[in-house]
Amino acid sequence: MSHLSDNAVRLVPPSQEPITLAEARRFLRIDVPGYPGDTSQDDLIRSFITGARRAIEDGIDCSIGVQTIMVAAESFTHLANCYTGASTYGIELPYGPIRSIASIKYLTSDGQDLTVNPASYRLTETPPQRIVLRPGFSWPSASMEPDSVRVTYVAGYGPAARGVFDQPDTYADQYADAYSDSNEPNIPATVADRFTIPESLVIALRLLVGHYWIDRNAIIEGHIVAELPLGVQSLLWPNRASIGL
């Protein structure tokens, strides 16, 4: 059984990253109040932010920032079987939270490219989110060619209501806040909350950017390295529950 995220293509990336360059610079202690630091490595920091976001997205199968994604397979049954092993459970989509379905298209055996009637299916709201058929409908027959069936959808957490550590005081304060955020799963209470990026993910992203900033080699020699006790993994793990992993 394959994993549907292996077939996912990000068609439209997020329009902005979850943290700004200015926020990253403050977190890295490049800038302090009244004393702006060197700007020669800003492009590098931007690349660290994007790389950290993608690492988290792939690590826990989520989307940070609103983006458009497409998954494809040779049949509707194959799309369903990628995750659940049974097409009766619907098509489970990767990289949640899923905001909306843009289109479901399929190729027929005679070469027509058709769109499935949106009235025939719905998107579930609770994780893991799936596309399920409404009563009385069935999936059409596709041509069984590669990418015959294509589901395009909009997914992703939006910006947090407030910044996290816009002006960090001490690392002890940061880890204390991280611990309080990481003990309980980020189960959404409302639709608005469900699409707001959890603060624990923002903290994890900043820690990853800090790691990339300090350790610029793939391998560290001559040092004993241990993961932060309340570091990235402990921040990411509870968020798996909010997307159904």
Ordered by start, the domain boundaries in the chain are 4-65+158-242, 67-155
**Residue 74 clears pLDDT 60, i.e. is over it:** yes
- Quick: pLDDT tens for 19-62: 999 999 999 989 877 777 788 999 999 999 999 999 999 988 99
- Find the radius of gyration of the CA atoms of the chain: 21
Closest CA to 24 of 157, 165, 159: 165
* Cβ count near 172 (within 10 Å): 8
CB 96 within 8 A of CB 127: yes
What pLDDT was estimated at residue 171? 36
**Residue 131 clears pLDDT 60, i.e. is over it:** yes
What pLDDT was estimated at residue 22? 92
What pLDDT was estimated at residue 119? 97
Distance CA 242, CA 201 (A): 12
**Residue 17 clears pLDDT 90, i.e. is over it:** yes
In sequence order, which residues have a C-beta less than 8 Å from that of residue 98 and are 6 or more positions away? Answer: 123, 129, 153, 154, 155
What pLDDT was estimated at residue 232? 78
pLDDT bin (cut points 50, 70, 90) of residue 12 is: very high
Amino acid at the residue 7: N
Distance CA 205, CA 19 (A): 8
Q: pTM for this one? A: 0.77
- Quick: pLDDT tens for 144-161: 999 999 999 999 999 865
Average predicted confidence (pLDDT) for the chain: 79
- Maximum pairwise Cα distance, the chain: 68
| DSSP-derived secondary structure letter, 134 | P
Least confident segment among 57-61, 189-193, 197-201: 189-193
Torsion of CA 182, 184, 190, 193, to 10 degrees: 0
- Quick: pLDDT tens for 202-238: 999 999 999 999 887 766 666 666 555 457 777 787 7
